[in-house]
Structure 1
Amino acid sequence: MILAGFRVTHLADTWVSQEGLPHLRRLLTQRTRWAQGNLQCVRYAPRIVSSRHYSGRGVLETLYTFGQPVAHLVTMGLTMALLVLGGFGALTLWPLTPILAVLAIGPFLLWSPVYRRNHAPEASRLTALLWGAALWLYAYHLFVVSARGFVRMLRGRNGWAKTRRNAEPVTDGPVARES
């Protein structure tokens, strides 16, 4: 829409009704759809960068969003290459493990006091740190959904059914399956 010249803005005084998905399969299906959508939109990157309709911050935000599944795929590819090519010789790199752990977990633990300050000041510092650690673990699903989205694209599977709401009955229509 922005490439076509429409103005898109965020409204602070509106809301969208959402609900959590109680089944892992439905969550992964929904997030795979999102990851695949971002992967499919990467082709617009050159047009976005050169568009007069995007601000510099808008370009960065959009490219960051599109690039997340790409970064997950590259990270997985490099990890697999290290494991396959390096084999158990990679164990000699054990001194890097604490550094990698700090780089992987650190941003989530740094996020937690900021979140606590801005949104949950009544929570303890320990609770906030646990939220950060939980968010770090939760983020690993992004590797799964990015890979699934990429495989779907390779197979030419570009159609999607909307993820069924919890209160909606199971019908014969095109909805994401639970099992």
Structure 2
Amino acid sequence: SNTSSTAGSGLYSAETYDFTAENVDKVLDEVRPYLVADGGNVAVVSVADGTVSLELQGACGTCPSSTSTMKMGIERVLREKFGDAVKEVVDINRPSVTLTFEALNGQIDMLRSAIEGYGGVVQLATVDPAKGECQIKYKGPVPLGLGIKAAIRDKFPELNVV
């Protein structure tokens, strides 16, 4: 039997490519149909020093799920094809917020009234920008705590530990 005809195609292909903007664009053709179905698209802006700069377009640019789309879909496919060559995948339209105690506390302040409305109490304890870590003191329903964590990670994608 001949299985080589299917080995190099599809989402789960083991084939790898040279890490160039042209090849990144080619690999993104695998996820484009899903983005287009949601009224969006993605364009490769540049590939340099392990950083892939992309522009999420159309509905994707304003979608609240765009961060998870980048992480779970686009970044995963790129790492699958290019391995360790991919250090970071960034959306050029996403305003970068510097990870500081003040910025993080401001984000928590915006959520605080809703958190308290559900019987939760939240306080920012520490922020370590160098390690990409923050510690939050939270007391309340577990699902709400997970929601806080997700909201903070969405705003500060450089956080490794919340």
TM-score with structure 2 length normalisation? 0.24
TM-score with structure 1 length normalisation? 0.23
Identify the structure with the greater strand proportion.
2
Work out which of the two has the higher radius of gyration on C-alpha atoms and give 1 or 2: 1
Identify the structure with the greater helix proportion.
1
